Amino acid sequence: MAPLFDRTRRFRVYQSWVLPGLLQSAAYTRAVLGTVADLRDVPDDIDDAVAVRMDRQRVLHSGDHRFAMLVEEWVLRTVIGCNDTMAGALGHLISVASLPSVSLGVIPMGTPRGAGWPVESFTMYDDTQVNVELVAAHLTVTQPGEIAEYARAFTELSAIAVYGAQARSLITAAIDAIR
């Protein structure tokens, strides 16, 4: 993934399940990977995987990368790990979202939707590749017409998200609900 992250200038991420990986705290990443390992009965290499994912976050602070991140509000309110892990992850989210290269939008619960929207989480790397997260696998999309569909979906989702103080307010409310 490192070469893809290094060459991508414009990241667009929509997450409907968990906080975006680039914005996760180490404890939250550990909890997510632990759950996946348990569900899939895979070897326990979580420490190494967390280290790799945390190192990947250096891209947030280097080069001329731009990150547009969208999350559903219920992602903020779904406790991954314990309450302290989740509260810490949300505090970390507020901090990382304040970086000049990061735009974080939160789609409030109850927001009316258009005729269609994705149910799967996805990451767009410039306009050249989309990675889609499925329950049992990741799908890599490289066909221009299919990438355009994800770009259109991202634009529509961006239009119903809240940003800045409104997004921080939703994150803070989620922290308060946990405590």
* Burial of 173: CB neighbours in 10 Å, binned 0-12, 13-18, 19+: middle
Would you say residue 130 has pLDDT above 80? yes
CB burial string 91-117: b at 16+ within 10 A, e below: ebbeebbeeeebbbbbbeeeeeeeeee
Taking a C-beta distance cutoff of 8 angstroms, is the pair 130, 121 a contact?
no
CA angle 57–63–64, rounded 5-degree value: 110
Q: How confident is the model at residue 165 (pLDDT cuts 50, 70, 90)?
A: very high
Would you say residue 116 has pLDDT above 70? no
For range 7-27, the mean pLDDT? 96
Give the domains, in start order, of the chain with CATH numbers: 2-178 (3.30.870)
Would you say residue 38 has pLDDT above 80? no
Taking a C-beta distance cutoff of 8 angstroms, is the pair 43, 75 a contact?
no
